[in-house]
Amino acid sequence: EEIVFGAALSLTGKLAKEGTLVKNGYELWKEAVNKKGGIKVGGKNYTVKIIYYDDESDPNRGAKLVEKLITVDKVKLILGPYGSESVFATSAITEKYGAIMVQGGAAADKLYTRNFKNLFGIYTVATEYMDDIIELTKGKSPKSETVAIVYSNDLFSTEVAKGAKRSAEKNGLKVVFYQDYPKGTQDLSTVIVQIKGKNPDIILGCGHFQDTIVMVKQLKDYKVNPKVLGFSVGPTLPDFVNSLKGDAENIFGSAQWTMTLKYKDPVFGSNQEFVKAYKAKYKEDPNYHSAGGTAAAVIFQRAIEKAGSIDDIAKIRAALSSFNEETLYGKIKFDSTGKVTGKGMAVVQIIGGTQKTVFPDYVAETKPIYPKPQWK
Amino acid sequence: MKDKKIILFFLFLAVLIFLPYIVSGYWLRVLTQTFLFASIATGSNIIIGFTGYPAFGNIAFFGVGAYVTGVMTTTYNVPFLVTLPFCALSGFVLAGILGIPILRLKGHYFAIATVGIMETIKEIVDNMVETTGGGMGLTLPIMVGEPEFIYKYFYYVMMLCMLLSVLICYIISRIKIGYALRAIRVDEDAASVMGINTPLYKTLAWAVSAALVGIAGGIYAYWLSYIDPHTVFGGTYPVKMFAMILLGGATTVTGPLIGAFILEIISELVWSKFIAIHGMVLGLLIICIILFIPKGIFETFKGGFSFRKLLNNLRENSL
Amino acid sequence: MVLLQVIINGLLLGGFYALIGIGFSLVWGVTNIINLAHGAIALLGAYLTYYLFVSIQLDPFLSIPLSFVSIFLFGYMLQRFVMNLVVKAQIFILLILTFGLEIFLVNFMTTFFSADFRSVTPSYAGESLVIGEIVIPYIRLAVFFVCVIFAIAMGLFLDKTWTGKAIKATSLDIEAAMMSGINPAKIYAITFGLGSAIAGVSGTLLTLTQAFSPSIAGGLTLRAFIVSILGGLGRIEGALLGGLILGVVETLSSYLIGESYKNAIAFGLMVLVLVLKPSGLMGRKYYAEVKH
Amino acid sequence: MVLLEAKNVAKSYGGLKVLTDLNFHVNSGEIVGVIGPNGAGKTTFMNLVSCLSPITSGTITYKGIRLNDKKPHEIAKLGIARTFQVVKPFGGLSVLENVMVGAFYGKRNLKSKAEARDAAEEAISIVGLLDVKDKDPRILPLAKRKKLEVARALAMKPDLLLLDEVMAGLSMKELEDITEEILKLKQKGITMLVIEHVMKAIMKISDRILVLHLGQKIFEGTPKEVVEEPAVIQAYLGAKFAEKGK
Amino acid sequence: MALLDIKELSTGYGDLQILRNINIEIEKGEIVALLGSNGAGKTTLMRTIVGLNRIWKGDVFMDGQRLTNASSTKIVSSGVSIVPEGRRLFAGMTVTENLEMGAYCNRKNIKEKIERIFDFMPRLRERKNHLAGDLSGGEQQMCAIGRALMNEPKILLIDEFSLGLAPTIVDSLVEIVHRINQEGVSVFIVEQDVQLVLDMSVRAYVMEIGEITLSGASKDLMNDPKVKEAYLGM
Ligand SMILES: Nc1ncnc2c1ncn2[C@@H]1O[C@H](COP(=O)(O)OP(=O)(O)OP(=O)(O)O)[C@@H](O)[C@H]1O
Ligand SMILES: Nc1ncnc2c1ncn2[C@@H]1O[C@H](COP(=O)(O)OP(=O)(O)OP(=O)(O)O)[C@@H](O)[C@H]1O
Ligand SMILES: [Mg+2]
Ligand SMILES: [Mg+2]
C-alpha cells in the first residue's frame, strides 16, 4: 500500500535552484525509505509516493497547487516548499483544510506568529541566523568592536539583519552601519563606499546569492578589508567558490547544516551516510537545502510512525509536538508554535577553496582564520 | 445574433453559479483565479481597449487595492467587505490624480509611464515598513469558517467582481461616453475639435478602470491572506492581463473575459502535463497565438473557424 | 570626496546601463517592438562568455566579438523567421510575442544552463586605479569604455551609413521605405540582430561585475526600459545619456536618501521625465509613434 | 455682424515665423475663401482658431469671445466645427458612428443614441455617403473620407464651419455637387471659412477671398478682384491662370 | 515590347477583389493618364505596380522583365518610382534626408541630383533642413515628387498629382514633368483635374470600378461625350 505526500515547489522561476535542491532531498529520502520497504505504521509497510507540482516561484500559485493536492489528490501530508513567501501562502491553505506541513525550506520568524497548529519548520529561524558568526569572534584577537550590517529588503533578510543587530549589540559590538537595499540589486557601490568610511571590523551581509556576489566583488574593488566578512546566504553554496575563485577565500557563512556535521540519523544512519548516498545519486555535494528537504521528510516519517496512523492528523501533530530525536539536521525539538528550538547554526569558512565547518567547536573541522587577511 | 450572444452569456453565467456544487476545491480555486484575471483584464480594458491607452502598469491599482484591504483589516479591524469600496475609491482617486499628467503621453510612452508608476508605488509600499510591513509582507486575518464555505464565498465574491466589471464595460460601450472613448482611441485631435473634453474622459476612463482593478486587488488580498509588494505589484500579471485582452479582442466587452478563461484554463492544463518544460511550452503557446490569431479570437473567428483564416492572418501580418 | 566617488561609481554603472539600453532603444525606435526578451537575449551572451571562460579560459573582454557575432545571427534569424511574421499586426501584439519569447528563452536557459547563479572572476578582478581617495575599479572602467565605444559606433552607423538611414526610414514608414526600394524584412532583421548583439555584449560584460542566472532577465529588461525612456527614442546618443543619468541618479539617491529608495527614485525620475518631456531628454520627433 | 475676428495674429514654431500680424474678419452668413501658396500658413490659421495649437501673439475673437486660451472642445461647444486637410476618420467606427460622435458632442450635445443617429443620418445624406454608412472609413477612397470629415462637422450643428481643402482630389462632377451643398448650407445660415486650391470652386462659392503669402495677408477682396490682382497672380495663380481667367 | 506592360492583372484586399483584368501598356517616353472616379481602384493599381499589394492574377513586365509579385526592392531598382497618395514622407527625417532615401537604389551623383530638384522646386531648398513631418501639405507633395525623381526612374508613377497644390506650383510641376519626360522618362499619372491631365498626356485610360472601360489618345478622349459628361463636367 501507498502513503502519499504532496509538495508544491519552485522548479522554475527565481527560486528554481533552491526548489530543485529541496526536491532532490525529498527524492533521496523516498528512495532510501522505499528501499527499506517503506514506512512502517501499525505493522503495515507503506510505499512512499510524492506528488510534485511546480509553483514557478509564485506563492499564489503555490497556494493554488497545495489546494489541488488537498482537494483533488486528497493528500494531507504536505512537504514544504522553499522560501518564506511560499511557506506563508501554502501553510495558510494546509491550516484551513486541517492538513499538516513539515517544512525544511523557510526560516522567517513571522511564520510562527500566526498561531498555526499544523506547521512545523526545521530551519533555525532567521533572527538567529547570524548569532553564531558573531559568537565566533568573541575572545579573538585583535578584538572586533564595530560591525556593519547590510541586508536585502525582503522578509527573510530583514529578519536576519534584525537578529544580527540584536545579537551584535548583546555581545557588546557597536553597529556602525545598518542599511537595507532593494532585492536583487545590481550595484552596491554606494553602500560600500559608505561602509568604507566607517571602517568596521565585521561586515555582515544578509541577502541572497546574487547580491552577495556583487558585494564581495565591490568590497574588493574598493579595497574594504574587515576582520570578518560573513553572509547569511552564499558561502555554503558550491557556486560561491566557482564564481568568486580566490576572492571567496576566508569568507564566513552561516549554515543550517553542513556535510561534516556528526549527527546520527534514523533513516540513513548518520549524516555522513546521508552525504554519501546523496553524492552517489546526484553526483554532487548536498547542501543545506537538500539536506533540509531530506531532514523534514525524515522527521515527518518518524512522527507518522510514532503516531501510528497515516491519516490521523491530530495524532501526527501530537507526535511532532513532542518530537525529540537526533537527525542528520541536528537534535530536533519544536516549540508550541511549531518552530525548531535549540538547533543552532553552523559557521563555515572558505579555506583553500572549500567550505570548512569552523564553528561551533564540537562540530568544527578546523579552526577559523581570524582576522581575515587583506584582499590579494 | 445579438440575442443569441446574450442568451449564451446568461447560460455561461448559470453554469458558473452552479459549478461550486460540482467541482473540487482546487478547480474552484482555479476558477476564482480566472475570475480574478477576468476582472483585471475587463476592468483594464476600459482604458486599454476602449480608450486606446495601453495602461500596462494598471496592476498598480490591484496592488493598492490589496494593501488597502490588507492595512484596513489588520490595523483597523475593518470587516473585509467594508474595505472594498475603499479599494475602489483609492484606485479611482489615485488614477484620477495621476491621469492628469500621465495621460498626455501616448502609446508605448504611456505604457511605460504606468509601469514606472507601478514600480514606484511598489517601492514606496516596500519602504513603508511601519504600515505595510515593507518587504516582509502583510498577513491578513484568515476568514473563519469551514474551508468548503470559504472557497465558495471567495468564488462568488470574485465572480461578482468580474460581473461588475463586465456590466460597467457594457454600459460604457452602450452610452455616449463609449463613443467619446472610441473616438479618443483613434485620433485625439479630431475628437477634441468635435467637442469631446479629451483629458476629462481619458482620466475618467482610467479612474473607473483603476477602481475595478482595485476591488479585485482587495478581494485577492483577503483571499490569499498574505500579500507582499513583489507579488501584488507586477510580476507576470501585467503581461498576462495584456495577453488576455489581446487574445479575446480589445474592442469588445467580453473579449478580455474570454481571453482570461482561455489562457488560464490552457495554462492550467499545460502546467499539470508538462512539469519540467511547461515554461517553454507556455512561451511557444503564446508565440503561436500571436502568430495565428493576432486580432483576437472574436475578430478572427467571427464567421466560424477555418485554417485558411489562420494562414491568411499569418500572411497579412508578415512582411 | 565621498560624493565624487559616488558620482564616479554612478557614471561607471551608467555605462553598463547605457549598453543595455542602446540595443533596446534601437529595436524599439525602429521596429516599434518593445522587446521584453531583451534581458533574456543579453543573458545568452552572458552564458556564452561564461562557458568560454570556464572551458577555454577565454577572457570575457576577448569574447565580446564572439558574443556580438553569434547573438547578432540569433537576433537576425529570430526577426527574419519569427517576428517578421507579425510585424504588420498591432504593435502590442508584438509586445506579447516578445513576452512569449522571453518565457521560452528563460526556461530554455534554466533547463540547459540550470538556475544557478554564475559569475566570472578573471585573475585581474578587483584591481583598481587609486587616485588619492578615489578608487576606480579597472574592470568597471573598461566596461564603461566598451559601452561608450559601442554607443558612439552605433550612433555613427545610424546617421552615416545607408543601412543606418534605411533603418531610420523604415521606422518612420514601412510602406514608404518599400517604395524607396528598401527591403523592410531585411532591415528589421538587421536592426533586431544589432539590438540583440549589443544586448549580448552587455551580457558578456555583466559576467564580470555581477552574478547572473536566467531569473534576472526581467530586471535587465526593466533597466533597458528606463534608459530608453530617459534618453528618448530615435537617437542612440540618447540611450547613452539615459544610461549615465540613471547610473548617477541611482548611486546619488542611494547615498543621499537611502539605498532601498534607489529603485523608487529611478522609476519616479522616469515618470517625471515622461511627463515633462514626453519624447525623452534627447528623443526625436515622429519616432516610435503609435500608428493606427 | 462680425462673427470671427483676428487681430494682429502671429504664430511661430520655434524660430520659424509662420503667420505674422494677421488682421481680418468673417461676417455672419458669409463664405470667406482662403487661398495662398503652399506653406503660406492657411492650415496653421485654422489650427489657431480651433485652438489645436497656441497663438503666439494677437487675439482671435468669436462672437466677441476671446478664443486664445480655450481648449479645442470648448471651441466646438461654441459652435465652431472644422475638417482636417489630412483626414482623420475614426477607424474602427463605422461611417455612421463617426458622424454620431459629432452629433453627441459638438454644439448639439445630444444625449440619446436615437437622436444622435437621426442627426448623423441627416448629415450623411447631405454629403451623399448613405450607401457606405456602415463601412469602416479606413477603406474608403480619399474623396469619401473627405466627405466624412464634412459630415462629422455638420452633425455638430456649427455656426461657423472651417473647411480645409475638402475639395482636393474630387472629380469634376463631385466638385459640382459639393459646391452646391456648400451654397445650400450657406442658405441655412452657416458661416464658412474655406481653404482651397481648386480655384474654380472657390471663386464660385466665396463672398470674399483672403490671400495669404508667407504668413501675411497680401490681398483681400471679392473673387473677381482677386483674380485680377497682380500680386496674387504673381504669388499664387500664375500667369497661365490669369490668361485662362480672361 | 512596351516599357511597362500590365497584363490581365487582378488584385484586391483580403477577400475583396478590387481590380479585374487590367491591361495597360506604357511606352518609353510617354505620358499616360489614368482617370477614374473615386474608389475606382487607381491607387490600388499604383500600389500593385510597385509591389505593395500582391497580384492575384496576371503579370507585370518592366522592360521585358517579369516583375509579377517581385519584391519592391527589385521593382524600384528596375526603374519604377512612385509619388504615393498621401505623400508618405519620412516624417522624422529632414527634406534632404528624404531625398537621399529616394536614391536608395540608385546612389550615383546624389549631390547633383538633389541640387537639380532644389532648382526645380526652390521652396524645398528653403526647407531643406526641416523635418518633412513639419512641412505644409503642398510642400510635402513637392518633397514626395523630388524623392521619386532621385531614383532616376524610367517610369514615374504619380498618384494624385496636383492634390493640394497651389496653381503656380502645379504649373511648375507640369513643366518639370514635361522636362523629365523629354529626358526619356515615362510618366503614369493619376489626377482628378481631368482637363489638366489630358492636356499633359498623350494617351489616357479610364477606370471604372476596377476595370479599364475606355482608353485612347488624350485628344480624342477630351472630345468623347462620355468623358465629357463624367469627368469634365460639361
Ligand atoms: N509643427 C510645425 N513645426 C514647424 N513648422 C511647421 C509646423 N507646422 C507647420 N509648419 C510650417 O508652417 C508653414 C505653414 O504651414 P501650413 O500648414 O499652415 O501651410 P498651408 O498654408 O496650409 O499650406 P498648404 O496649402 O500646402 O496646406 C509651413 O512652411 C510649414 O513648414
Ligand atoms: N486596405 C483596404 N482594404 C479593403 N478595401 C480597400 C482598402 N483600400 C482601399 N480599398 C477599397 O478599394 C477600392 C479602390 O480604392 P482606391 O484607393 O484604389 O481608389 P482610387 O481610385 O485611388 O480612389 P481615389 O480617387 O479616391 O483616390 C475602394 O472601394 C476602397 O474602398
Ligand atoms: Mg494646409
Ligand atoms: Mg487614390
Residue predicted with more confidence, B29 or E22: E22
Chain C residue with Cα closest to A210: C211
Minimum distance, in Å, between the CA of residue E78 and any CA atom of chain C = 10
Question: Would you say the CB of residue E210 lies under 6 angstroms from ligand 2?
Answer: no
Structural domain spans, chain B: 24-235
Pocket-testing residue among D12, D18, D83, D198, ligand 1, by greatest number of atoms within 8 A of Cβ: D18
Give the atom of ligand 1 at the shortest distance from the alpha carbon of E135. 31
Task: Single out the residue of C234, C229, C243 nearest to residue C276, CA to CA.
Answer: C229
CB contact under 8 A, C86 and B280: no
Task: Single out the residue of C213, C172, C234 nearest to residue C22, CA to CA.
Answer: C234
Task: Single out the residue of A95, A175, A161, A80 nearest to residue A128, CA to CA.
Answer: A161
Pocket-testing residue among E35, E42, E189, E190, ligand 2, by greatest number of atoms within 8 A of Cβ: E42
Tell me, what DSSP letter sits at residue A371?
S
Could you give the maximum distance between any two Cα atoms of chain B, in Å? Answer: 59
Question: Would you say the CB of residue D15 lies under 6 angstroms from ligand 1?
Answer: no
Interface of B with C in 93-112 (CB under 8 A): 101-102, 104-109, 111-112
With a cut of 70, say whether residue D245 has pLDDT above it: no
Share of chain B above pLDDT 70, in %: 89
Q: Which domains does chain C have, with CATH numbers?
A: 2-276 (1.10.3470)
In one letter, which amino acid is D103? A
Structural domain spans, chain E: 1-79+191-234
Helical axes B237-248 vs B255-273, angle rounded to 10°: 120
Pocket-testing residue among E37, E43, E56, ligand 2, by greatest number of atoms within 8 A of Cβ: E43
* A abuts E (3+ Cβ pairs < 8 Å): no
Instruction: Determine whether A170 is exposed, middle or buried from the number of CB atoms within 10 Å of its CB (0-12, 13-18, 19+).
Output: exposed
Structural domain spans, chain D: 1-79+159-216, 86-158
List the shell of residues around ion ligand 4, using CB closer than 5 Å. E 43, 85
Residue nearest to atom 6 of ligand 1 (CA): E134
pLDDT band at B201 (very low <50, low <70, confident <90, very high): very high
Nearest to A16 among C110, C251, C255 (CB): C110
Question: Would you say the CB of residue E84 lies under 6 angstroms from ligand 2?
Answer: no
A185 vs B contacts (CB less than 8 Å):
none
Work out the average pLDDT over B107-127.
Answer: 85
Residue nearest to atom 19 of ligand 1 (CA): D39
Chain B residues with CB-CB distance to D under 8 A? 174-176, 179-180, 182-183, 185-187, 189-198, 251
Buried b (16+ CB within 10 A) or exposed e, C24-61: bbbbbbbbbbbbbbbbbbbbbbbbbbbebbeeeeeebb
Give the atom of ligand 2 at the shortest distance from the alpha carbon of D171. 25
C176 vs E contacts (CB less than 8 Å):
84, 88-90
Minimum distance, in Å, between the CA of residue B198 and any CA atom of chain A = 39
Q: What is the reported pLDDT for C288? A: 62
CATH for the stretch E1-79+191-234:
3.40.50.300
Dihedral sign computed on CA atoms, order A139, A140, A145, A147:
negative
Q: Can you tell me the distance from the alpha carbon of A217 to that of A211, in angstroms, rounded to the nearest whole number?
A: 10
B25 vs A contacts (CB less than 8 Å):
67, 70-72, 97
Q: Can you tell me which residue has the cell 540513513?
A: A268
With a cut of 50, say whether residue C213 has pLDDT above it: yes
Residue nearest to atom 23 of ligand 2 (CA): E39
Q: What is the reported pLDDT for C289? A: 62
Work out the average pLDDT over D88-103.
Answer: 91
Q: What is the reported pLDDT for C292? A: 41
Work out the average pLDDT over E87-103.
Answer: 91
Alpha helix (H) ranges present in C161-216? 162-172, 174-179, 184-209
Residue nearest to atom 17 of ligand 1 (CA): E136
Share of chain C above pLDDT 90, in %: 35
Residue predicted with more confidence, A291 or B311: A291
Work out the average pLDDT over B163-168.
Answer: 94
Work out the average pLDDT over B36-42.
Answer: 94
Q: Can you tell me the distance from the alpha carbon of C12 to that of C4, in angstroms, rounded to the nearest whole number?
A: 12
Mean pLDDT of chain E: 90
Q: What is the reported pLDDT for B225? A: 80
| CA D215 to ligand 3 centroid distance, Å | 12
C135 vs A contacts (CB less than 8 Å):
221-223
| CA C10 to ligand 4 centroid distance, Å | 55
Question: Would you say the CB of residue E133 lies under 6 angstroms from ligand 1?
Answer: no
Q: Can you tell me the distance from the alpha carbon of D34 to that of D36, in angstroms, rounded to the nearest whole number?
A: 7
Question: Would you say the CB of residue D143 lies under 6 angstroms from ligand 2?
Answer: yes
Query: In the 3-class helix/strand/coil scheme, how is chain E assigned residue by residue?
Result: CCCEEEEEEEEEECCEEEEEEEEEEECCCCEEEEEECCCCCHHHHHHHHCCCCCCCEEEEEECCEECCCCCHHHHHHCCEEEECCCCCCCCCCEHHHHHHHHCCCCCCCHHHHHHHHHHHCHHHHHCCCCEHHHCCHHHHHHHHHHHHHCCCCCEEEECCCCCCCCHHHHHHHHHHHHHHHHCCCEEEEECCCHHHHHHHCCEEEEEECCEEEEEEEHHHHHHCHHHHHHHCCC
Mean pLDDT of chain A: 90
Grid cell, residue C137, equals 575599479
Q: Can you tell me the distance from the alpha carbon of E13 to that of D218, in angstroms, rounded to the nearest whole number?
A: 47
Q: What is the pLDDT along chain A (376 residues), one digit of tens a residue?
A: 899 999 999 887 778 888 999 999 999 999 999 999 889 888 889 999 999 998 888 887 888 889 889 988 899 999 999 988 889 889 988 998 899 999 998 888 888 988 899 999 999 988 888 998 998 888 888 889 999 999 998 878 888 999 999 999 999 999 999 998 988 888 898 999 999 999 999 999 999 888 899 999 999 988 899 999 999 988 888 788 988 888 999 999 988 898 888 888 999 999 999 999 999 999 988 988 899 999 999 999 999 999 999 889 999 999 999 999 999 998 899 999 999 987 878 899 999 988 899 988 877 888 999 889 998 7
With a cut of 60, say whether residue B275 has pLDDT above it: no
- pTM here? 0.83
- The pLDDT tens digits for C73-118 are 999 999 888 888 777 766 667 777 887 888 889 888 988 888 788 8
- The pLDDT tens digits for E170-196 are 888 898 899 889 999 999 999 888 888
pLDDT band at C155 (very low <50, low <70, confident <90, very high): confident
Q: What is the reported pLDDT for D246? A: 47
- The pLDDT tens digits for E15-49 are 789 999 999 999 999 999 999 888 889 999 999 99
List the shell of residues around ion ligand 3, using CB closer than 5 Å. D 43, 85; E 137
Q: Which of D51, D67, D94, D105 would best serve as a mutation to test chain B binding (most B beta carbons within 10 A)? A: D105
pLDDT band at B298 (very low <50, low <70, confident <90, very high): low
Q: What is the reported pLDDT for E115? A: 94
| CA D233 to ligand 1 centroid distance, Å | 21
In this complex, the chains that touch D, judged by 3 or more CB pairs closer than 8 A, are B, E
pLDDT band at C199 (very low <50, low <70, confident <90, very high): very high
In one letter, which amino acid is B139? T
Mean pLDDT of chain B: 85
In this complex, the chains that touch E, judged by 3 or more CB pairs closer than 8 A, are C, D
Contacts of residue A51, defined as CB under 8 A and 6 or more positions apart, other chains included, come to A4, A5, A6, A7, A69, A73, A75
- The pLDDT tens digits for D42-64 are 999 999 999 999 999 999 999 99
Pocket-testing residue among E136, E162, E168, ligand 1, by greatest number of atoms within 8 A of Cβ: E136
Q: Which of E15, E44, E136, E196 would best serve as a mutation to test chain D binding (most D beta carbons within 10 A)? A: E136
Contact (CB, 8 A) for D96 and D124: yes
Minimum distance, in Å, between the CA of residue D114 and any CA atom of chain E = 31
Work out the average pLDDT over B269-283.
Answer: 66
CB contact under 8 A, A96 and B150: yes
Residue nearest to atom 14 of ligand 2 (CA): E41
Alpha helix (H) ranges present in chain A? 16-35, 59-71, 84-97, 131-137, 155-170, 189-198, 209-221, 238-244, 271-282, 288-307, 313-321
Q: What is the reported pLDDT for A267? A: 92
Q: Can you tell me the distance from the alpha carbon of C145 to that of C152, in angstroms, rounded to the nearest whole number?
A: 11
The CATH H-level (homologous superfamily) assignment of domain D1-79+159-216 is: P-loop containing nucleotide triphosphate hydrolases (3.40.50.300)
Q: What is the reported pLDDT for A1? A: 84
Q: What is the reported pLDDT for E227? A: 81
In this complex, the chains that touch C, judged by 3 or more CB pairs closer than 8 A, are A, B, E
- The pLDDT tens digits for C224-278 are 988 988 887 767 888 889 999 999 999 998 888 888 888 888 888 888 888 887 7
Q: What is the reported pLDDT for E170? A: 87
Contact (CB, 8 A) for D231 and D219: yes
Residue nearest to atom 31 of ligand 1 (CA): E135
| Ligand closest to CA E164 | 1
Buried b (16+ CB within 10 A) or exposed e, E145-169: bbbbbbbbbbbbbbbbbbbbbbbbb
| CA C175 to ligand 3 centroid distance, Å | 24
Q: Can you tell me which residue has the cell 510505499?
A: A47
Question: Which uninterrupted H or E stretch holds C71?
Answer: helix C64-81
